[in-house]
Structure formats: C-alpha cells, structure tokens
Structure 1
C-alpha cells in the first residue's frame, strides 16, 4: 500500500467523483481509476459505489478513509519533523580571546544568531595570544580573538570593527592620578604591572615596547599578569601601576581605581581568526557566516 495511492483515495472521497479528483490531482481518469482498483484488489474490499457522476464510499470505504487520514497525517508530521531537523542548527562554538571590550561585538553577533538558532551553545576561553593560538592549532577552539599586531600567517581572519586603547590603571590616591595622560617617562619612576604578552622578548611585534622606546628595559616590572582582573587586585593593594586596555578593569565612581590613557595615544586593532582550511561544524559555520555579514559589510 503506497502513501501516494492513499492520498488519491482520500481525494476521491473528498471530491465525490473520479472526474473531480482527477482534475484536482492533475492525473488522467483512467490512471486514477486503475490506482483505486489496484488498492481494492490489494485489500480485498470494495471502497466505492460508482455511478456515471459520483463515487460514494461503502462502509469499508468509510473505515479506510478514517485510517488513511491517520496514516497520511502521521507521514506529513514525520516529514515535517525531519525537515525541521535539517533546518535547525545545533552544536557548540568555541571562542578564545584576551580581555577586550571588543567581545561586545561578538556578543551582539551571538545574540542575533541565537534568536534564529537557539540550540547553538557558545564556550568562551580567556587567554593571551599564545594561549589562544595554541588551542586554535590543537583544534580546541574554532575561533580566536587576537589583538594586533599578531602573527596571522596561519589563519584566515576578519577585522573586528573596534579599537582597544592602552593606558594605566592606578589607585585614585596615586600621584599619577592627577595627570590626564601617562607618558613613558612617568612609568620609569614607579613599579609597573605588565601583561606577560607585553613582556615577551620579541619586541619587534610588541606595540607597548615600541611605544615605550629604547628605555623599555629600564621599567621596574614588579608583577606580570594574564588576566587584568588579577592585575587590578594587585593595584588596589598598592603593588604598582598596571598597563592594561581601557574598559577592562572597573574604574567607576564606586571603584578605588582610575584609568589614564597613554600619550601619545596607543590603540590596537583586533581580529577574529580561524585556521586555514578549517572544517567547521554546522554551528561554527553559521557563526562564521554571521560574523562575515556583520563585520565585512
């Protein structure tokens, strides 16, 4: 018994005639009549009392109509469910990056995508460039957010439409808090807290070291950090002055800390990167499409 033939049967039952059903189904009357005759022979029952102008259901036909409607409805529902499964994207997207306000742009993309694909889950990993690229290379992350300048030779990337501003976080009762901006000479006379990335010896690609100039080695670096939150705790305890990106540390009116930008102004661009020739999951692939649509238009 074919679902198609059951649909033919239901159409004849609804239309009340072979002629009307054939017109509705866009098949010839002989073809439709033959299909119904084959169905009756298959089940060994007569389903219609036929005349020149109508086809009336027999008692057996009434029973078949009820069961056929149930079967066709179930098949339609199953097809719809499988179709829905194909249209619904689910899975996990793994994103790594340093502490940066640019994460707001990623969050906005996630929010918009979540409205259309609520079954995608996002996993965030915080770390510096070395941490993130190591996990990217080992396949533990789908995407990484890197602060320029970064080595992008192994990756495809999209520029994030944001700039991070470098500066110094200090206690509000610190002498340097009286200044509007911080110059390199100001940092030579105070204990400094720097990110481990800023202290890397490959200074040719270190924006902070380039900004500071030839006296970079004279800095009194008393602490290095990986997360700015921990650096802020050290600053609050009076350990030193932390070189950080703006808007990462709480410097609101309720905080004991303040931020002063570097002079001359130092800004860093940002990229979201992924491995070349990466084979993405369906979830990561649709996230990439969202990022491209938002950031490259």
Structure 2
C-alpha cells in the first residue's frame, strides 16, 4: 500500500468529488481514478459509493480513512524526527492528556525546556483516556497524561506531584450550593451529567456505594467545558474534577467537593522500551528534574 495513494484516498474522501480532489492534488482525473480503483482491488473492498453529485465513503472506506490518517500522521512524525538539523537540538514532542490541572506541570516543563532549546515544539492532543492510550499505542504521541488507574504492565510511568479532586459542578443558585461538600445521599434523584469513561463510573460507584446505573443521568461528556455549558443552562449537575472550570468572579457556577473525599493520582506514561527522539528524551529528563 503506497503512502501516496493513501494521500489520494484522503483527498477524495474530503473533497467528495474526483474533479475537486484531482485539482487539489494537481494530478489528472484519470490518474486519480485509476489509483483508487487499484487500491480497492488491492484491499478487495469498495471504498466509495459513487453518486451522481458526490462520492461518499462506504463503511470500509470510513475505517480506511481512520487508519490512513493515523499512518500519515506517524509518517510525518517520523520524517520530522530524522530531518531535524544535527547541529542543534530541535524537533517535536507529542503529548496527549485528559482534562486535569496537572497539565500545568507539563506546561512548566515544556516552557523550561524551550528556554534552553527554542527550536523544540510541543504538540498537545486533548482527549479522554481511551483516545490518549490509543494514540500512545500507535506511536502517534510520545507521552500520555492519565488519571489513575493506568495499565502499569503496559507502560512506564512517572507519578506527578498533584492530585485531582472529584466533586459536583453546579449553578450558584442551586439548592446544593449552600453545602460545603456533597454526600452520596445528596445526588439521588438529581439530574446528573457524568463522564462517559468507564473507569469514572467505577470510581463513582465505589464512592456512592449504590448501583451507579440507578442514578438519574441526563447527559454524558468527555470534555468538561461542554458539560459546564449544560450546567449553566440548568440541565443538571456535573460530576467532574476540580480546577477545570473557572467558578470565580461573575461565573454562574460553583464547585463542591465530595465527602468522603474522592481524589485520584495523575501519571505521565509512555510505552515500555520506547525509543525517544532527542526532544522527547530531554522533556522527560526535564520533567523528572522538576
């Protein structure tokens, strides 16, 4: 499978027209059509549904688009590592992480490293734990910042000197806002907005000591900012981590911690036996020093 043909495939999937994709790629339409027909023959599947006005992806085409994006991203990352000038320390660091105030520690380490080596560039991918570990396993990122639990047998890890605290994000005019903390009994029958990650369900279930599925869950989220908008509109109460949403000043929102307290450790992880680029190796060294 040719990298060039994967680029052709992605261009057509984006442009949805052979004419538009050929113009975008600066090649002829017959050349593009022939290359993609040969790709379908090589894979033994139909990748496109060819309509009268536009071309759409089949189910197999959607799968290949995801794989092709990952492959080309890894190719670009590899090329950048080898093309970095030998006479200076330059290049890229790729870090994935969920929403955590501990990302501030990562930012501090990057800033200190860039002061010594200004040609280093950091690329941050934001996503939940499943998305971060998927990219980590595929080699698309160097490091992942994850809240516990982590797959310790699969990764090397460094425990960061910070913890995240679970609590409830609510409107300041909410009846629960008068409380200093939230207990399990306070949440029954309330409209709740919860994280869609499975390990979060397990943590909350252990804390609440009841069947998690019996809670009144009205929405789920993977990024808390969007959930905060739902809370602000009065849809419900968000179970989330502290220090991610500004609740000071004129904010209509406030945060109350859980009681008993529910805290989680935060780790930065990387694949075992990982061969780092020079910038990534220096970043890890900088982080350990801090």
Q: Normalising to structure 2: TM-score of the pair? A: 0.69
Pairwise CA RMSD: 1.4
CA apart distance, 1:86: 4.6
Q: Matches of 2:192 and 2:200 in 1, distance apart?
A: 19
Equivalent in the alignment of 2:124: 124
For the residue of structure 1 that corresponds to 2:267, the secondary structure is: strand
CA spacing shift, 1:87–1:160, aligned 2, 3 Å: farther
Stretches of structure 1 that go unaligned for 5 or more consecutive residues are 1-84
Q: What is the distance in 1 between the residues matched to 2:150 and 2:278?
A: 28
Aligned to 1:91: 91
1:226 paired residue number: 222
Secondary structure of the residue that 2:168 maps to in structure 1? Answer: strand
Query: Once superposed, which parts of structure 1, at least 4 consecutive aligned residues long, lie more than 3 Å away?
Result: none
- Shift of residue 215, structure 1, vs aligned partner: 3.2
Contact 1:149 1:207 in 2 (8 A): no
Task: Measure the CA separation in 1 of the matches of 2:234 and 2:145.
Answer: 31
Aligned to 1:173: 173
Q: Quick one: structure 1 residues 190 and 271, their matched pair in 2 at CA, closer, same or farther if it must change by over 3 Å?
A: same
Matches within 5 A, 1:104-183: 104-183=104-183
1:74-116 Cα offsets, whole Å, 9 max, x none, are xxxxxxxxxxx65621011010111110011111111111110
CA distance in 1, matches of 2:178, 2:261: 18
Residues 194-240 of structure 1, C-alpha deviation per residue, up to 9 Å, x if partnerless?
A: 0111xx2896xx32221121232211111000100000000011111
> How many Å separate the matches in 2 of 1:263 and 1:215?
18
| 2-structure distance, mates of 1:159, 1:96 | 16
Given candidates 268, 279, 285, the residue that maps to 1:283 is: 279
CA contact (8 A) 1:194 1:244 kept: yes
What SS does structure 1 have at the residue aligned with 2:247? Answer: coil
Residue number in structure 2 paired with 1:252: 248
Local SS of the residue matching 1:186: helix
Tell me the TM-score normalised to structure 1 length.
0.67
Equivalent residue number for residue 38 of structure 2: none
For 2:275, what is the secondary structure of its paired residue?
A: coil
Do residues 271 (structure 1) and 267 (structure 2) align?
A: yes
Alignment map for 1:31-42 (pairs within 5 Å): none
Which of structures 1 and 2 has the bigger CA Rg?
A: 1
1:47-86 residue pairs with structure 2 within 5 A? 86=86
Cα distance in 1, alignment partners of residues 117 and 206 from structure 2: 44
Supply the distance in 1 between the matched residues of 2:187 and 2:211 (Cα, whole angstroms): 10
State the distance in 1 between where 2:263 and 2:87 align: 42
Q: Matched residue pairs, number?
A: 206
Change (3 A) 1:218 1:150: same
